[in-house]
Structure 1
Amino acid sequence: MRCTRFLAFFVVMVSQAQVAEDVRRATLGNTAGTSGKCTVGVYVDMIAEVNIFGDSGLLRTLAGQPASWTHLECTSPLPYQMTDFKFRGVEGRGTQRLVADPRTNDSIAVVRIEDPRSGAANYTFEIEWSGGSGGYAVSGFLRSGAARPEPIRPARRAGLRPISAERALDLCRAEVHARGERDYGLLDIDITAVGVDTSAGRSNWVTGTFTARARSAPEAAYRFNCAMDYAAGQVGVVEFLRPDGSRLQPPGATAVSTEDQARLFRACQDAAVARVNQLGYQNVQFNSTEIDPRRSGWMTGSLTARRVLVTDTFDFGCSMDFRTGRLIDVQVTRR
C-alpha cells in the first residue's frame, strides 16, 4: 500500500515537472484607445494556466494532456498600465478564475482553468480593461522566449522605482509603431536601431531609426525621438524625422472652426485634469493648449498642478476625433 502511494506521488511529481508551454500571438483588431477586450479560447484536459502579456499569450499545462489554443482575439494589446480590469468566464464545464491581476502582476494577466471530468473540454473567457496607458509589450512572450519575461512594473510617483532604460526602449518602440501607422499612415514599420540619447540635455529622450513605406510609395528610412517620463512610465512627444532632419508631417490635416476648437479644448483639458487628479494633484493651471501641427487628430499643451507642497509641470496630449469631438486617448507626462 505504501509502495503504491509512493509510486502515485512520483508519477504526479514527474508530470508536474514536465510543464508543456505554448505561445501564441493574438489576432488584433483595429481599435485604438485606452480600453480593450480579449476573448480567449483553450482546450484543457485537467489543469492549465493562460497568461496574457501585451499582444501575446502563454498557455501552460500543469496537469493532464497538453492544453491547446482555439483562439486568442483582442481589440488591442493588453497595456502595461490600466485603471480597471475585469475577468468573465464564458464557457466551460469546470472552473476558471483570475489568479493574477495585471495591475499587480507585472502587466501579466493569469487565468487558471481546472477541468475535473474525464477527457478534455473547451473553455472560453473574456478580459476587459480601461484607462490603459504606457504602451504595451510588443511580442511579449514571443520575444522573451521564456515562460515569464523579465518583470516590468508600473512606475510609482513617489520615486520608489522608476522604469529601466530597457523598459523605456520597449515603450518607445511600441509608440513608434502605433503612432506611425495611426497618425502618419506608415506601413511595414521595421525599427532598425534604438537607444537612449546620450547628447547633452537629452537624457530623457530615446532615439533610433526605422524603415517604412507610405501608401503607394517605396520603402524609405526615417529617424524618431521619444520624450520619456521615467517616473511615470509614459511616452510623451514622439518625433518622426527624415534623414536630413526635417520633420515628417502627418497627412490630411483637418481645418477646425473656432467653435469646434473651443469644444475640443475643453474635452482635452477635462481629460488632462482627470488624469493628474488620479496622480494626487490639484489646483491645475493650463499654460497652453493647441492643435498639434505635427500629428493629425491630436491636441497638445502644458499645465502646472500642485500636490501637497510640490508644484509640477506636465506636458499633455489628446488623441481626438475632430469631427465628433470624441476623446480617444489622453497622455500626461511630467517634466
Structure 2
Amino acid sequence: MPRPLAITDDHELLDDLLRIAAAAGVELDVAHAAAHARPYWIRAPLVVVGSDLADDLAATGPPPRQNVVVVTRTADDPDMWRRCVAVGAHTVLELPEAERLLVEEFGDATEPVTRAGTVLCVAGGKGGAGATVLAASLALTASRGGLRTLLVDADPLGGGIDVLLGQEEALGARWPDVVGREGRVSFAALQEALPTFGELTVLSAHRGEPVRIPREAMRVVLDAAQRGCDLVVVDLPRYVGEGEAEALSRAAATIVVVPADLRGALAAAQTVTLLRPGTGDLRLVMRAGTLDPEVVAASLSVPCAGVLPEARGLVETLDRGDPPPLRRSPLGRFCGELLESLLGGLSQSGRTGRPAAGAGGP
C-alpha cells in the first residue's frame, strides 16, 4: 500500500513528522528535495509539504491532486498561505499546536472509511432488567449473521460483559487499558488489542477498581469502530457520565429494557428522563410482567419495540460460563427481528446474511 509522502529537508521538522506519523501507526516516504517527490506525488495517499521546500515544489509544477497539506514550525509567516495555494494544499498546519490534526490527516488518508458503523445503545430501565443480556445477545446475533460488530461495556459496575460471554479469561485489553487514550486509533489496531471472536470484538470493563470512561476515550473507540465496523452495541449503566453521553449522542437508537410491572415502570420513567435529552431515538423492549407492555410504553411516551421472550435456564447457562443461548431459540429470533427493524435496510445492502458455517465466537 502506498505511504504518505513528506517533502522536507528540515531535519527538525522531519523528526516531528516521523514522530507524529508513528503515533498514527503510519510509515512515511521522504523526499529531501522537491524534484525527488515526483515519483511519489500521484500515488501517495497524503502529501505533507514542509514550508522549507514549498516554493521549490511549486516551481516544479506538480499536477493537481487532493490531500496535500503544508506544515510549518514558524508561526505567523505572512507567506505561508501563498505557498499553500501554490502547491495546491488544502490547509496549513502549524506545529506543535496542530499535531493532533496532523495525526487525523495521516489516519484518514491511510485508513479510509470501509464501513459506516451504526451505534445502538442499550440501558436497563431498572437494575436487573436484563439490558446486559440483551446487549450481548444483539452483538452475538449480528456477528454470527456476518456483521463486523464491536460490543462496548460502558458499565464499570457490571462485573464485565466478558463474563456474560464466558470469555473472562480471554487475552486482550479492557477499559482500564484504554481510558487514557487520546487522538486517533485505527480500527485494525483496536481490534488487535481487544478480545476478538470471529466478527465480534469486545471492549469490557474489568473486575478491579471501577474506572470512569472519559468522553475522549469513548470518542476514540467509537470513531475507530464506526470506521471499521458495521454495528457497535454499547451496554450503558443507569447514569450518564461524559463517556456515556458521547455514546448516546451517536446512537441511531437507544433501547431501554423495562420489566412490565409497577416498580419497573416507575424506575424506567426516571431512566427515560435521564436518557432522553442525549439521544434522538428511544425504544422500549419490555419484559413480561403484571402490566400490559403497551400500557407501560404509553405511560412513558416511548414506543415499544418488542417483548423480550423468557429464556428458560438462562441464569444456569450464564453461571456455567456459556453465552446466552441464541441458535434456534426464541431469544435469538427476537434479536434477529429487533436488529432488522432497527437497522432497516442494512441487510439489503449485503452486509448481513445467515451465520457462516463454522463461524467463530462465543
TM-score, normalised with respect to structure 2? 0.23
Greater radius of gyration (CA):
2
* Larger fraction in helix: 2
Q: Which has the higher contact order (CA 8 A, sep 6+)?
A: 2
**TM-score for the superposition, normalised by structure 1:** 0.25
Task: Flag the structure with higher strand content.
Answer: 1
